């Protein structure tokens, strides 16, 4: 298992999710892709425990005690 987890939604509908996914793939950074279903809500239920905004994308470094870098303008 990799230390990084990338929480995203459908890359076909979320350019924010696609951008970080493409960057990490292009730089060959190993990560676990965690797909979060789209709900149509501004905040995704269950994401507030991972991202303070409740939005995706959110990159979590498990090796650093769950350090999270989240999207804030979606």
Q: What is the CATH number of the domain that holds 63?
A: 3.40.30.10
Q: What is the pTM of this model?
A: 0.83
The tally of domains found in the chain comes to 1
Average pLDDT, whole number, for the chain?
A: 85
Give pLDDT tens digits for 10-26.
888 888 889 999 999 99
- Give 3-state DSSP helix, strand, coil % of the chain, rounded to 5: 20, 25, 55
The three-class DSSP label of residue 17 is: helix
Residue range(s) defining the domain that contains residue 16? 4-70
């Amino acid at each position: 298992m990799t230390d990084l987890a990338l929480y995203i939604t459908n890359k076909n509908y979320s350019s924010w999710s696609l951008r970080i996914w493409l960057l990490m793939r292009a730089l060959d950074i190993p990560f676990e892709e965690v797909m979060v279903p789209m709900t149509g809500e501004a905040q995704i239920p269950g994401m507030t425990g991972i991202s303070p905004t409740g939005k995706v994308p959110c990159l979590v470094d498990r090796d650093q005690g769950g350090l999270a870098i989240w999207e804030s303008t979606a």
